[in-house]
Amino acid sequence: MYFILRLFIDLLFVGLIFGFALIWSKTEELIDKLKQKGVSPTFITFCQTLVIICSELFIVWYFSNRFHLFYLDTLFSCSIIFPSIMWIITIFSQSSTNYINMTEKFYIGTHYESKRALKVSVNPFTLGTLIFTLIGIVTTFSFYYHYFIT
């Protein structure tokens, strides 16, 4: 029974990873429909941020159960890793855009403005990851507070 449960959880996790593109497109369609109906953009951003936080909590829960780790230790580690991954992706995508623009300018002669290497944009993903990071760090430090005092 335990093997079947673990297999089901693994298949669910793999299905979520491969179904991300489908989920993303359906989410975009839903957001467009909600915007057409006149739903507040603040409410839409709040819902997207909440989904991001819940997704990150699910990933932490999955890894802590899968590898038999203590949940708060995994939460603290992921609270450091998730923003780092987000930052690295932002740096590399903007760097590649600048490289493409430089290549076009050299070979074709067209000139585009280069983007700054580090540009923080506030979107639901960034906001959700930062809130998740704060929750993870504060929760972990409040749980281990008595170790810091003694």
pTM, full prediction = 0.71
**pLDDT at position 129:** 92
Burial degree of 60 (CB within 10 A; 0-12, 13-18, 19+): buried
Q: What is the pLDDT of residue 141?
A: 92
Q: Tally Cβ neighbours within 10 Å of residue 2.
A: 6
Q: Mind giving me the DSSP string for 52-80? A: HHHHHHHHHHHHHHHTT--HHHHHHHHHH
pLDDT of residue 35: 86
Number of H helices, E strands in the chain: 6, 0
Alpha-carbon span 71 to 40, nearest angstrom: 35
The per-residue pLDDT string of the chain (150 residues; one tens digit each, 9 = 90 and over) reads 788 888 888 888 888 777 777 777 888 888 888 888 988 889 888 988 998 899 899 999 988 998 999 999 999 999 999 999 888 877 777 777 777 777 877 788 776 665 665 666 788 888 999 999 999 999 999 999 988 887
What pLDDT is recorded for position 139? 94
Element (H, E) at 145: helix 145-149
Q: Where are the domains of the chain?
A: 40-149
